Structure 1
């Protein structure tokens, strides 16, 4: 895998991976070891969170296509070794949370992949991409199940809705519509075209480090 050509994105824009219709992969230990290492890497590379989450769904039912998808992540990382999550001084301490869910897109279970990410000021401090544990009967239900502020406090979707409505009425939570072209949360729920992926990745502050001037200064000594 070390000689593979780098990939521009960690996942393509095709349909999500499934557990069927392919050749079983003959080295599950290798796959699980690599997938486990990639899980740790998501703590510093939110741009691969969605892809890694998808691959971890097939730990016990591996196919060759799953290993090929894992290799794609490695090729992507090979080409972005100089990228990382950056933090910057911020003039605001506002806490802003974004959520998204791709309703019923899992080809095996029709469950939704949901995500959230949270900014403190200008800095990304928390994020998650996961398949929902239960089947949502509508896109609205999938979105409510995805809300990180209230979901752990309630057990039923009806209570979720009333909880959020009450917070909005009190002015404690503000809910805004985000047009698709600005919905950065999509990077946590689906494969994206290259230009959109790179734009959203930059919005999460996953980028190259600032250009250093140390080398230029030392050349004059």
Structure 2
């Protein structure tokens, strides 16, 4: 650090400031702030979640307080308003805080309370991406990718790779409330180092799809069940360049989608059974983590975790220890699925392909199948829920004309 003008001592011109407190912009500032804030919470009676270090839980009898911290943005909720008011009073005495009221906007996510539950969207953020790409007036399409299309490294290079990386990076954050975009965004993200013209055309199609679904978001409704239901799927050798498979999962807590993923597997699979088995392993790991998170939230599940797969060979491989010769080449860390099944923590069940909800996260689908699976992922139009917030009047006019 350099001394600001007026603080330089003529007797000691080479002296510098001694840092006594962490300031914004310093590398150690986030760690120092988190330590300061977490120390206060732990002294107040909170406990830090082992599954998520940003989550703090206060539990006393039937009273619960959940606090989620992201740098200096805080979300607090509980089941006792008097207890919450008392805690906010303590928090205000310790730190300089500003109560923003009921949750409406957090880290670019728009939250709306509806008659049926909660609706999360990023309409404003999506519109800003369209403005950056100059596609606000583009013609919408019904799906984010061409049916049965796989991107490859072939084709002429795109002349503005910085624009490509900027748009794809913004789309990655948009998938927080748009699981229907997960596979398409994952596909274009694999060519950030050297995008071609066809890759940019794929990005433009995603943006045209967003133009027609600008108000869409993720809906959550109250559910009497707290059971975890997971769908696991894989597209064997889905990458034409490396012949690696695409694995995906969609995990539900009750009737609500809480976790999803679409990602290329790290190594090549020799069969569709092997690729599905590796997808089962990654899904089981996520399900196991969600189970730990629910325990930290003091939520109990009444039954074992259920994992649905549309490949009977991989189910047999995970439940039958006799099939050693068929799996001796698979790494041992994937076989922890067998232990979960043997201990009855996890139940594997077969689901037909036409009901495999994770299929939308592994490949590009036709319009009827895509719309069907999109609705099952709890992705809805805000207009159907009676909401019109988060979009300007000009955007509303554009949508009405479309």
TM-score relative to the length of structure 2: 0.50
- Structure-2 residue corresponding to 1:157: 330
Root-mean-square deviation over aligned CA pairs = 2.1
CA distance, structure 1, for counterparts of residue 202 and residue 285 of structure 2: 34
Q: Which has the higher strand share?
A: 2
Highest CA radius of gyration, 1 or 2? Answer: 2
Whether 2:208 is the aligned partner of 1:75: answer: yes
- Structure-1 residue corresponding to 2:386: 212
Any unmatched runs of 5+ in structure 2?
Answer: 1-134, 290-328, 389-402
The answer as to whether partners of 1:144 and 1:160 remain within 8 angstroms in 2 is: no
Whether 2:158 is the aligned partner of 1:25: answer: yes
Q: Which of 183, 186, 191 pairs up with 1:53?
A: 186
Q: Which of 73, 89, 93 pairs up with 2:222?
A: 89
- How far did residue 117 of structure 1 move? 1.5
The answer as to whether partners of 2:250 and 2:357 remain within 8 angstroms in 1 is: no
- Structure-1 residue corresponding to 2:246: 113
Q: Which of 356, 361, 374 pairs up with 1:183?
A: 356
CA distance, structure 1, for counterparts of residue 266 and residue 248 of structure 2: 13
- Structure-2 residue corresponding to 1:168: 341
**SS of alignment partner, residue 211 of structure 2:** helix
- How far did residue 189 of structure 1 move? 0.6
CA distance, structure 2, for counterparts of residue 81 and residue 7 of structure 1: 12
Any unmatched runs of 5+ in structure 1?
Answer: 215-221
How many corresponding residue pairs? 211
- How far did residue 181 of structure 1 move? 0.8
The answer as to whether partners of 1:85 and 1:205 remain within 8 angstroms in 2 is: yes
Q: Which of 252, 270, 273 pairs up with 1:137?
A: 270
CA distance, structure 2, for counterparts of residue 24 and residue 49 of structure 1: 24
Q: Residue by residue, what CA displacement relative to the aligned partner does 1:143-196 show, whole Å, maximum 9, x if unpaired? A: 22223224999xx83535643233223322111111111111111010001011
- How far did residue 112 of structure 1 move? 0.4
The answer as to whether partners of 1:95 and 1:119 remain within 8 angstroms in 2 is: yes
Q: Which of 145, 152, 167 pairs up with 1:34?
A: 167
TM-score relative to the length of structure 1: 0.89
CA distance, structure 2, for counterparts of residue 187 and residue 160 of structure 1: 27
- In structure 2, relative to structure 1, the CA distance for the partners of 1:171 and 1:67 (3 Å cut) is same
**SS of alignment partner, residue 129 of structure 1:** strand
CA distance, structure 1, for counterparts of residue 247 and residue 387 of structure 2: 42
CA distance, structure 2, for counterparts of residue 158 and residue 177 of structure 1: 24
Instruction: Detail structure 1 runs of 4+ shifted over 6 Å in the superposition.
Output: none
CA distance, structure 2, for counterparts of residue 43 and residue 124 of structure 1: 12
CA distance, structure 2, for counterparts of residue 65 and residue 11 of structure 1: 12
- How far did residue 15 of structure 1 move? 2.8
